[in-house]
Amino acid sequence: MTDAEWAQVRSAIPVPAWLLKRGGRPEAYCHREMLDAVRYLVDNGVKWMALPVNFPYWRAVYDFFRRWRSYDYVRELYERLRRTARERSGRNAEPSAGIIDSQSVDASETVSEDSRGYDGGKSRDGRKRHILTDTEGLLLEVTVTTADVHDSKAAPALLEAFMDEPGRLLKLVWVDSAYQGPALAKAFARHGVRIEVVRRSDGQRGFVVLARRWVVERTLSWLSRSRRLNRDHERRPDYHQQMVWWAATIRLSRQMAGDAPRWPEKRPDRRARTRA
């Protein structure tokens, strides 16, 4: 990550216990090096053992990833960045409206049979990630299930995971026609959240931009830029969930730093080749 991006991340990064004199062993590597290594793996989709040698030893990076998963640090980091980004745009830190959707992804041979399923609608054999975003497309919550779980059955757990945190202000959620049923409506009503279904107009064919729903679709495309998410290689669903948070953090930190990886204006040391 660039210096501008690191400045955004450093101010929001969770402080380890040993720095607060709460016990624990000091870490052997710089946080920036570790973050760069995990982000490289998520962004480029390499194996843990295939990390370049200029990063710390792969086993140390993997242990760092596992520690952050245990304490849900990457989710905390993203939420701090999200609140800051919303405040900079003149909005409240916590949103009052959101959009829900899901995305099925094929699983590799490392995913066991008991944690994968077949999505007949999308012809995907693997897992499904369910996401909740705000009206700007920033990630609010994510859960991972087998691909055969219907969207209406996964949505209550997704909302519960988000609303369990204090200070939530969510009142309205836009969804597609799959999110219907008395059980889902009852779960949302328990938290005082209203559901509004956005449907296609009668007779519409082909690709159509639907109000509100296009925002969450764009977020799913942002996440898919990270190659680790193009196919599910994680043995455990919670590891895949962490990869989604890491991918979202990469995108948001670059956006906040205004440092998207463009060429050649962001790489002055490289020159475009001209044809003879």
- Residue 14 has a pLDDT of 80
Mean pLDDT of the chain: 88
What pLDDT score was predicted for residue 275?
44
Region 60-76: what's the mean pLDDT?
93
Give the model confidence (pLDDT) of 69-114 as tens digits.
998 999 999 999 999 999 999 999 999 999 999 999 999 998 999 8
pLDDT (average), residues 135-145:
95
Q: Which residue has the higher pLDDT, 229 or 28?
A: 229
CA distance 209 to 193: 25
Q: How far apart are CA 168 and CA 109, in angstroms?
A: 39
Judged against a pLDDT cut of 70, whether residue 129 lies above it is answered with yes
Q: Return the pLDDT at 276.
A: 42
Q: CA distances (Å), 187 to each of 129, 160, 183, in order?
A: 20, 9, 6
Tens of pLDDT, residue by residue over 208-237, are 667 788 899 999 999 999 999 999 999 999
**pLDDT-derived band at 269, boundaries 50, 70, 90:** low
Amino acid identity of 159?
A: L
CA trace torsion 87, 220, 199, 147 (10° rounding): -130
Min mean pLDDT across 37-51, 93-107, 151-165, 197-211 is at 197-211
pLDDT of residue 61: 95
- Give the per-residue pLDDT at 181: 86
Residue predicted with more confidence, 207 or 131: 131
What is the predicted pLDDT for the residue at 258? 84
Taking only the tens place, the pLDDT of each residue in 173-207 is: 999 888 988 888 898 999 999 998 887 766 666 66
The whole-angstrom separation of Cα 131 and Cα 145 is: 11
Yes or no: say if 239 and 127 are a contact pair by the CB < 8 Å rule: no
Q: Cβ(211)–Cβ(196) under 8 Å?
A: no
Give the confidence band of 274 by pLDDT, cuts at 50, 70, 90. Answer: very low
Judge whether residue 53 has pLDDT over 90. yes
* pLDDT on residue 79: 96
| Predicted model pTM | 0.88
Identify the pLDDT of residue 271: 53
